[in-house]
Amino acid sequence: MNATLVQVTLTGLLQGLIYALIGLGLYLIFNVMRVVNFAHGHLVLVGMYGMLILEPRTFGDYLLGLVVMALVAAAIGYLIERFLIEPGLARPGHSQLVITLGLGIVLQYVFQVLFPEPFESIPNPYPWGEAFAAFGVTISMPRIAAGVASLVLGVLISILVYWTRAGSIIRACAESLSGAMHVGVNVRRTYRLTFALGAACAAVAGGLLLPIQPVSPILGLELTIKAFVVVVIGGSGSLWGTAVAGVILGVAEALGSVYAPGSLATSLVYALFFLIILLRPQGIARRVARA
């Protein structure tokens, strides 16, 4: 019984790291641009379906696929930001909310039309065996690899944000957009690059997810909500907040699924999110309100 609990917790932790990566992308977009990207989960789908199309047969193909998906998603993110979101930022009202909502719906149904077969996946692309077993715990290799890869990517992005000049510009925009403009930061370009980076994070996470979790268009909204859970719980502190929040979400979801059937566990997560929105919107809400 104990081993199962450990197994479930570990599984949840690894899944949570992937959630953290998705949330990281949204965190960047949200904090720098104050944009609520309702299509973020659908960008993850772009990565998943993209990888499905690429059908990698070898590990090399798979890695290449991840890189390709990152670049494609970055390009898509850039285009979305430049042509759909940026023009609406100056205007009052909630057009970006509606635009990203509409975008998410379009993406969801485009995927539905293109991929009528639900729940497709790809086989284990990793060359290190099917699963890893130790101390009575067995975890599938793709899951371990995905979790570790997410962590590594998270660290790399942290380094980018906290140790490079480009990163300090991103942080400056998140702190004070007006201030950034007053020191000569090209705010427009920062927006575009940030959105592209956020989209790339989402798509790579999607590519990592595909061997573990079959893809279906309805995942889009679910992943969007989970990304927001990570961002809101993680708070507006540092990037590590999202890592911790992602792990919390993953573990909570995994433990929940032990004691409740699938959809109920996710519902619990959503209900909890609703409560979290009610109870601690401070830093986040103030930030969005200032925009």
The two structure tokens encoding residue 224: 């969007």
Cβ atoms of 231 and 242 within 8 Å: the answer is yes
159 binds another protein (CB under 8 A): no
- Return the number of the residue (60 or 262) whose C-beta is nearest another protein: 262
Helix (H, G, I), strand (E, B) or coil at 120: strand
Q: How far is the CB of 4 from another protein (least distance, A)?
A: 22
Judged by CB under 8 A, the residue of 117, 135, 259, 263 near another protein is: 263
Judged by CB under 8 A, the residue of 116, 134, 135, 259 near another protein is: 116
271 binds another protein (CB under 8 A): yes
Closest CA to 252 of 260, 83, 58, 147: 260
Q: Which stretch binds another protein (CB under 8 A): 12-20, 130-138, 247-255, 264-272?
A: 264-272
186 binds another protein (CB under 8 A): yes
Question: For 81, which DSSP code?
Answer: I
Helix (H, G, I), strand (E, B) or coil at 243: helix
Residue type, 245: A
Q: What are the DSSP E strand ranges found in the chain? A: 131-134, 137-140
176 binds another protein (CB under 8 A): yes
CB atoms inside a 10 Å sphere around CB 119: 10
Chain positions 208 to 247 lying near another protein, rule: CB under 8 A, are 221-222, 225, 228
How far apart are alpha carbons 98 and 88 in whole angstroms? 11
Site residues (vs another protein, CB under 8 A): 36, 38, 83-84, 87-88, 91, 94-95, 97-99, 101-103, 105-106, 108-110, 112-113, 116, 168-169, 171-172, 175-176, 178-188, 221-222, 225, 228, 260-261, 263-264, 266-268, 270-271, 273-274, 277-279, 281, 284-285, 288-289
